[in-house]
Amino acid sequence: MIVATVAVSLAVTMILHRNAQAKLLRNDAALNQQGEQWAKLVAEQGLLSNQLAEARSATNDRSNELARLQSQAQALQKRTNELGGELKSNRPARLSPITPKSEPPPPEYFAQLHRTAGAKPRDAVNLSQALAKYAWEHQGRFPSNLEEVTTYLQKEKISLSGTNQFDIVYWGSLDDLKGIPGGAVAVIRDRQTWTAPSGKPARVYGLANGSSRIVESDDDFKAWEAEHIVATAPAGQ
């Protein structure tokens, strides 16, 4: 009986030992699985941290670029205001002197002036309006030559008198004329001059607002053009 009791005790001990080993193996497997999950989470956290750092860096770069552009815009605005002030202060010196006692000519004078001008003012109106339409359909850019507005004249069934020839004197854009009255900027100029009833040379100009003007001058139109022609150049020059 003693031997049997010992044998039973040994068997029970072996069973308990095996159960303990099996439990340890299961615990080890669970710990290994948890360790793998933890390592995966650590790697994902590191990746997210890197992405967050890159996003913050890109945000800082954009903020720096925005600050730089704002600084440039402020500097340009300041320079624009300064130039506007200089232009305003210098403009009176460029105006042609006006005699205080001079009286405007009577209506009969202007009627005679337009008779001597013939079809020139009407041609200037048609051409300047065609140039303006071209600019509106080409991102605000005026044409480089009059051939480019031929289709606009044909579309409106407008034919020129053929008694004069005009040259473009403004090749800029509509944006460059913001804040400037359209009637103060010449876009085309008649090549020919003639003698007005006053005895002075006269010339027709087409303006940016689609109108025309007969200008009389005794200084080869230098003073008037200095005030009404904006210095630009054809595209590509």
At residue 135, does pLDDT exceed 80?
A: yes
Q: Does residue 234 belong to any structural domain of this protein?
A: no
Q: Does residue 233 belong to any structural domain of this protein?
A: no
Task: Say if residue 52 is in the same domain as residue 123.
Answer: no
At residue 54, does pLDDT exceed 80?
A: no
Residue 70 domain boundaries? 1-92
Q: Which of 61, 92, 123 is the last residue of a domain?
A: 92
- Alpha-carbon distance of 15 to 24, in angstroms, equals 14
Which of 173, 128, 177, 167 is closest to 145 using CA atoms?
A: 167
Task: Say if residue 133 is in the same domain as residue 77.
Answer: no
Residue 52 burial (10 A CB sphere; 0-12, 13-18, 19+):
exposed
Task: Say if residue 85 is in the same domain as residue 113.
Answer: no
Q: How many CB atoms lie within 10 A of CB 87?
A: 10
Percent of the chain with pLDDT over 70: 63
Q: What is the pLDDT of residues 137-157, one digit of tens each?
A: 999 999 988 888 888 888 888
Q: Does residue 205 belong to any structural domain of this protein?
A: yes
pLDDT band at 225 (very low <50, low <70, confident <90, very high): very high
- Fill in the DSSP letter of residue 84: H
Task: Say if residue 137 is in the same domain as residue 75.
Answer: no
Task: Say if residue 45 is in the same domain as residue 85.
Answer: yes
Percent of the chain with pLDDT over 90: 27
In angstroms, the Cα distances linking 21 to 13, 14, 15 are 12, 10, 10
Q: Which of 92, 121, 136 is the last residue of a domain?
A: 92
Q: Count up the domains in the chain and report the number.
A: 2
pLDDT band at 205 (very low <50, low <70, confident <90, very high): very high
Q: Does residue 41 belong to any structural domain of this protein?
A: yes
Q: What is the pLDDT of residues 68-127, one digit of tens each?
A: 767 766 776 776 666 666 655 655 444 444 445 567 778 888 888 888 888 889 999 999
Task: Say if residue 86 is in the same domain as residue 111.
Answer: no
At residue 14, does pLDDT exceed 70?
A: no
